Structure 1
């Protein structure tokens, strides 16, 4: 018996959190859109908000509530300065955190940027059956997260397991 998995395209929304960049200047969000579309997924929406936890939370909440959006990627606001509030905005929305994501991301970042990786508060989780990934604002960090972690986990063909195969069970009680 052949166990051949097929690719399942997902609808993915991208949010850039920045006080200084417009969407036109947003290389990090564009890197994510390019990566997800090249992989065969669909860019469901793309927005930019200021580093404000309520603006971030409003957009992410709307996407989590939208049954058409299966994944949310945010870029920016995961550092440790006073204006970095993405984790504080998103964490209360999560039903479950995927702790291994932040750990693996920092490990991979350490290979590229050394001990500066400890400044990242990248996180991921599940909210209302939607995967949410919060990434740093640099395009390099976004490419690392996408190519070395997220892309394979959002590909149903990845073995031994992947996040796509768990999607039908995310809302179980």
Structure 2
């Protein structure tokens, strides 16, 4: 408004390295998600999103792009940290059992991983690329309920960051642009 600009400011799909709340507060009117990771980033700006686990207590790994075995771990609003004050629990499905062996969490004899390798690592050496990295260990994970669940230590971000005033400003501006485009 300071310069009299009457257009719409929006990100490119998958564009922008900022977080939604910073971007909107700075004057962005429309954030284009560009994939599940970006959409989740927008959702986390307004509410706490719990981590997602499969039946083995493995954090869900979502493939980021269809052409490469590059994944993102669905920790969502949770950050794994051995010093963290919060704990999240991953219950195991029927017939699965967790155990601690050599300091690492195993479920049905297989390692449980906490992270995935990134796109840069894949393109640097695709022949020896390993999609999942960082096995869950006793520093950040523990067994619960006689092997029926895995607990993870860390920080759960419970604070919404998107200001209501920024959302209202963007909504009003977007509606004004739409009405103008319709000739109303």
TM-score (norm 1): 0.24
TM-score (norm 2): 0.23
Structure number with greater Rg is 2
More strand by share: 2
